[in-house]
Amino acid sequence: MHSIVKPLLAACAAAAAGTALAAGFAGVPHANPKAPGFSAPNVLTPELVEVIVAQGSTRLENPAALDFGGGATSVITSYGYYGDGPFLPLPGDVQSATHDVEATKSEPDKNTYLVLRGQRGADPSHDYGTHFLFQGHEAGAATVPGRRASFVTRINLDADADHRVTLLAAADRDGRPLPPIDGSTWDPFARKLLFTAELGAGGGVFQATLDFPSVVEEVAAMGRGGYEGIQNDSDGNLWIAEDVGGATVSSTNRSRQPNSFLFRFVPARRGDLTRGRLEVLQVLSLRTGEPIVFHPGQLVADITSDDQKDLHTYGKSLPTRWVTVHDTASDGTAPFDANALAKAKGGTPFRRPENGVFRPGSRFTELFFDETGDTDIRTQAAALGGFGSVFRLTQASPSAGQGRISLFYLGDAAHSGFDNVAFLDRNHVVFVEDAGDTLHAQRNALDSAWMLDARLDYSDPANQPVRLLAQGRDPSATIDSALSGSPGFQNDGDNELTGIHVSDGDPSPEGILGARVPHPFRDGWRAFYTQQHGDNVTWELLPARGEPPDLE
């Protein structure tokens, strides 16, 4: 066993045992263990229950076979599966490099909830109701060589079984297949759904209409990058978290070089996403006053630098400023590599920031965003964000050019791989894990959803996150975990927590996440998440006893 593993596992067990009553939730004392051949149910804090709103095998009301040229097709049949095989391996079937034993999982990702009127679907005679949950799908089926096709769906929460899920789009307005999609949000100023593709220089932001079928097109002004989380503010700006993994030091030291950036797109006119400037966050060193920047070819220097230590130390506040990397007024609208320009312009790299959200009631002056980290217990940057982190970025206004950044929470082996995020009220924020199969096995613990209190100082060991949910592993994901590593096997293993979303569905600017203080489970506020991989179930969270828990 690696020399660092034993103490980290001990810390993991100690932290798991320390869950305490907080903010109306008793919490869940332990994560579900990972054991070959064994599935496990989700375990929720006793104040909550969950109900299925859609699952992978839910048949689309309008399944489609799409032709992308060259004889390549992508058959889309169900909410979480493509039509390229059975949902589970047939008895006696064997996975090979040229034969898949089961259908490709589409992996529905981030959820966006809206209350709308007049929505149409494939059946012109059906009343689809007023409550809808939108998502892009992260995994894609192979089409032409080197490309994967994905799609956008809408869960019709008021509809019957035959009309439960509508396929909105699987191609852009020019007929090109949609890329695998990660993040999503609703822009009330542009009146468009926005989706992100986490594909490095092949990724980007795509806007989609609410019509059926939806018209989708790339937003070239925001560039191309490994974009994931996307968040609005009241000025019409868009904040984008980029997730691009950096180079690792070695096979025995799995620390990755910080290689991703936090971007802000400032439109020339609020609601028009075709013109504007893309900015990158720059953090200034407390030691030299100079920007903390990416150093090509200097892995160890970036991973263990004093500046990275300051950035990941409780109680230290570092100055920030926004730097323009591209402006359509002077640079045009041709596609560009946002990550490369961010490095050239002196942006500050982070350890895979995936998502962020504004604190409710802060008037969009306080952003909490996470780093996923290395998701490997062998990281030797544990005190430098190797297990992930949560930062608090504060500014005088959402469009301010300067601000401050400080560490809010430093992850460890028990709390690692933070991904999606949602505020439950003004003070309590939930981060869900995407620790991955490797770290699951290393710590013998599947993913969890953690609640933190924005008023607490987490440098004090007495203050610990509260586990609201211990993610289980459904039988389908258990089979996929066993097949992982088989020649050509295309599906991920253990279930992943994603798409945590708390919203009242208001499509106006007042409904932007962070504009109002949420009231979960009352006054129209609803909470959703997706148990990605395996059966790809999307859940709604509800109070177990009919009355919402008292969070204060």
Smallest CA-to-CA distance from 100 within 84, 78, 77 is with 84
Smallest CA-to-CA distance from 530 within 80, 192, 169 is with 80
**Does the structure show a pLDDT above 60 at 371?**
yes
Which residues pair with residue 350 across a beta bridge? 260
Kindly state the average pLDDT of the residues 50-66. Answer: 94
pTM beyond cutoff 0.85: yes
Q: What is the band of 12 on the pLDDT scale with cuts at 50, 70, 90?
A: very low
Q: What's the confidence (pLDDT) of residue 146?
A: 57
Q: What's the confidence (pLDDT) of residue 251?
A: 76
Average pLDDT, the chain: 92
Mean pLDDT check: name the lowest of 73-77, 508-512, 533-537: 73-77
Q: What is the band of 180 on the pLDDT scale with cuts at 50, 70, 90?
A: very high
Kindly state the average pLDDT of the residues 81-109. Answer: 95
pLDDT in tens, 256-309: 999 999 999 999 999 999 999 999 999 999 999 999 999 988 887 788 899 999
Give the pair of three-digit tokens for residue 523: 């006054």
CA distance linking residue 324 with residue 319, whole number of Å: 17
pLDDT in tens, 325-345: 999 999 999 999 999 999 999
Answer for the pair 528, 537: CB distance below 8 angstroms, yes or no: no
Q: What's the confidence (pLDDT) of residue 301?
A: 73
Which of 20-34, 68-82, 408-422 has maximum average pLDDT?
A: 408-422
**Does the structure show a pLDDT above 50 at 19?**
no
Q: What is the band of 475 on the pLDDT scale with cuts at 50, 70, 90?
A: very high
pLDDT in tens, 230-242: 999 999 999 999 9
* Beta carbons within 10 angstroms of residue 530's beta carbon: 30
Q: What's the confidence (pLDDT) of residue 402?
A: 98
Concatenating the DSSP letter of every residue in 343-409 gives: HHTTPPPBS-EEEEEEPTTSTT-EEEEEE-----TT-S-GGGTTT-EEEEEEESSTT-SEEEEEEEE
**Does the structure show a pLDDT above 70 at 67?**
no
